[in-house]
A = this chain, B = another copy of it.
Amino acid sequence: MNCNTPTDIVFSFTGFATRGGGTADHHDGWGIAFFEGVGVRLFVDHEPAVASPVAALIKSYPIKSKNVIAHIRKATQGEVALENCHPFVRELWGRYWVFAHNGDVPAFQPELDGPYRPVGNTDSERAFCYLLQQLRQRFGDQRPTLLVLTQALQELAAQIAVHGTFNMMLSDGSALFVHCSTQLHYVIRQYPFSTAQLSDQDMIVDFSQVTDRSDRVAVIVTAPLTQNENWIALQPGQFMVFIDGCPLPHAA
């Protein structure tokens, strides 16, 4: 989720978490990271999201954030363990970077000779460490402009995606970068707001009752979360950047 004003994710997370062992078989852990300014709250659990007391907290306690990345895991590479739960977090250029991946890239075995090493044994964390290593190699100690950064990430994501399936999300709290390898959808919720019905649970929300006119929220997800909203499918190979709830045109 990427928004122009701090927004809680209780509604979307409720539908999403149901897929963690409920309406879908992604039961090998889950995680969610909320940016609050430059700070991050990260919750990870190797229990299925439907059964996790930590997930229950998130569904009941509205944490407001402009950038949220959540993940429910179906282990394909790496065992079921806390250190293998997405999202992963590292620091680069004095900002936290949060990363989640759907798919697998087992054949991607880059040399990691920089300061970022995987703690667990997933191909996903390895790919994340590689991304950050390459950013540091290219740009040294200074974060480049958004445009230059976006081009670099797009190029790196395409490079990794050659080795398998690389649907991914990445954020440093100022923007949300996404790459679609096979499946990714987004919806923009903005004025005039309407009512949405979760696909995975009997839950409806009337966004016009809980928003201001100027609010804008982008939700990006593997498969659409609601039945009656205008979800747009990304194309294979497509890279997008969301800022303030808006897709950046140059990257669309």
Residues of A whose CB lies within 8 Å of any CB of B are 36-46, 53-54, 57, 61, 81-85, 89-96, 113-120, 136, 141
Contacts and interface: CB of A to CB of B under 8 A. Distances in A.
A82 B36 contact: yes
A84 to B, nearest CB: 8
- Residue of A57, A83, A90, A141 with most chain B CB atoms under a 10 A cut-off: A83
Given A41-B44, A95-B119, A113-B141, 7 more contacts: A38-B83, A38-B119, A38-B120, A39-B46, A39-B82, A54-B61, A94-B118
A192 B85 CA distance: 38
Q: Which 3 A-B pairs have the closest CB atoms?
A: A39-B82, A39-B83, A94-B117
15 contacts: A36-B81, A38-B119, A39-B46, A39-B81, A39-B83, A39-B84, A39-B119, A41-B45, A53-B57, A53-B61, A54-B61, A57-B57, A94-B117, A113-B141, A115-B116
B117 A39 contact: no
A65 B85 CA distance: 17
Contact of A37 (B42, B82, B91, B136): B82
Given A39-B83, A82-B40, A91 B116 contact: yes
Contacts of A53: 57, 61
Given A53-B57, A54-B57, A85 B39 contact: yes
A61 B56 CA distance: 12
Contact of A96 (B95, B116, B119, B141): B119
Contacts of A119: 38-39, 91, 94-96
A116 B115 CA distance: 9
A94 B113 CA distance: 12
A43 B63 CA distance: 13
A110 to B, nearest CB: 15
Contacts of A54: 57, 61
Contacts of A39: 44, 46, 81-85, 119-120
- Residue of A38, A84, A95, A114 with most chain B CB atoms under a 10 A cut-off: A38
A24 to B, nearest CB: 24
Contacts of A90: 91
A120 B173 CA distance: 13
